């Protein structure tokens, strides 16, 4: 398995939308709108591959010169719990530090909170609802 940056609008990016749809939207009975996908532009897309198949994806959205928001984190349902999510996040943290960012933040779904806690993300603030499900904001300082 390898993790690498993919480019918005590429064939790989289009495949990553299918994975995001499968893992993050269909189970909620939702679908992406073109307005929602338009925000993917000018963001960093990090994907995990087994051969030429995308098995994991996450997006990094610059909020300011120090902070990236990690969003749309998804791993193929048959391959969850095998370390792919951890490898993508670790790759993303190094990638972000190299680009001069110091902080990550994210809105974690309730079921995913233990995953982010394993990777040393901290909960800040109260529960809130997005796409109809419970979330908490989490943060991590990624550089010294």
Ligand X SMILES: CC(C)(COP(=O)(O)OP(=O)(O)OC[C@H]1O[C@@H](n2cnc3c(N)ncnc32)[C@H](O)[C@@H]1OP(=O)(O)O)[C@@H](O)C(=O)NCCC(=O)NCCS
Binding mask 8-47 toward ligand X (x if CB under 6 A, else -) reads: ---------------xx-----------------------
Judged by CB under 6 A, the number of residues near ligand X is 19
Which of 80/102 has CB closer to ligand X?
80
Residue list 47-86, contact with ligand X (CB under 6 A) = 73-75, 80-86
Q: In whole angstroms, what is the distance from residue 82 CA to residue 139 CA?
A: 23
What's the closest the beta carbon of residue 97 comes to ligand X, in angstroms?
A: 20
Contact 60, 46 (CB under 8 A): yes
SS3 letters for 68-134? Answer: EEEEEEEECHHHCCCCHHHHHHHHHHHHHHHCCCCEEEEEEEHHHHHHHHHCCCEEEEEEEEECCEE
Minimal CB distance residue for ligand X = 85
Q: Which parts of this chain interact with ligand X (CB under 6 A)?
A: 23-24, 73-75, 80-86, 108-109, 111-112, 114-115, 118
């Amino acid at each position: 398995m390898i993790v690498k940056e993919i480019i918005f609008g590429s064939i790989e990016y289009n495949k990553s939308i299918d994975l995001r749809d499968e893992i993050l939207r269909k189970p909620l009975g939702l679908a992406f709108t073109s307005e929602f996908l338009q925000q993917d532009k000018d963001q960093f897309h990090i994907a995990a591959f087994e051969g030429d198949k995308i098995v994991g994806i996450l997006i990094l959205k610059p909020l300011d010169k120090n902070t990236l928001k990690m969003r749309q984190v998804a791993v193929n349902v048959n391959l969850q719990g095998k370390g792919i999510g951890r490898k993508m996040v670790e790759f993303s943290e190094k990638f972000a530090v190299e680009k001069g960012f110091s902080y990550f933040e994210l809105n974690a779904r309730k079921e995913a909170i233990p995953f982010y806690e394993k990777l040393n993300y901290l909960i800040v603030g109260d529960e809130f609802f997005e796409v109809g499900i419970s979330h908490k904001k989490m943060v991590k300082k990624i550089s010294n």
